[in-house]
Amino acid sequence: MSSPVKLYLLAYNSLQTIGWAVSLCRILISLATTKSVAGSYAAAGDLICLLQTVAFMEVLHGALGIVPSGVLFPLMQWGGRMHFLLAIVRRISEVQQLPSIFITFLAWSLSDIIRYLHYALNTLGSCPPWITYIRYTAFIVLYPLGMAPVLIMIKALPIVKMTNLYADFFSGLPFNYYDFLRVLLLVYPFLWLKLYLHLFKQRRSKLGKSHRNKKE
């Protein structure tokens, strides 16, 4: 990897780490000051939307081959999060104060702080083994919390149907956004499981390699 690419990846991953840390702080400060989880979107929603939009760069990183992640899994994660954030949460104010938003944002913030910190330190070639262990272990607890968006989408269904949301966009199609969302809810658990099992595969590969290196 060339020095300019290393410098770029270090800057990108460091800024994402800082951004998600700020997001986590905003969520926790809101919780502490209001004694409620209802203000999570108001506290950190705009920042999380920005961070997740910028994360499309990771799809490009895989497509250009500057990281070994490939395209499919980064695209699935990015697309799923962006649809959830922009098409549902940002558009439907009735769901913005649900406890599931707090759970989702908390899980995303914690997992992405760990993930981007790990990436940044790896770019420097000085990632402590314990960071690697946390990176490939914390998801076991945090990733299932990523199913919380399903609850939000279910809550949004009656509102989507009542308001005929995105009617103009779907006007030329034989189905509407309500139908699309119902189908998405059916396939979402299978897509989630595919990503979850992929993370376990990564864990075996990375932690197994680390264990072998220690023995050598």
CA nearest to 156, candidates 165, 144, 167, 147: 165
Which residue ranges make up each domain of the chain? 3-213
Q: Which residues, 6+ apart, have CB-to-CB distance to 99 below 8 Å? A: 37, 38
Token pair, residue 204, equals 């075996």
Q: What is the pLDDT of residue 1?
A: 65
CA nearest to 116, candidates 201, 49, 5, 20: 20
pLDDT in tens, 40-94: 999 999 999 999 999 999 999 999 999 988 898 899 889 999 999 999 999 999 9
Token pair, residue 77, equals 């994660």
Average model confidence (pLDDT) for the chain? 92
Q: What is the pLDDT of residue 208?
A: 77
- Residue reference for tokens 């914690």: 110
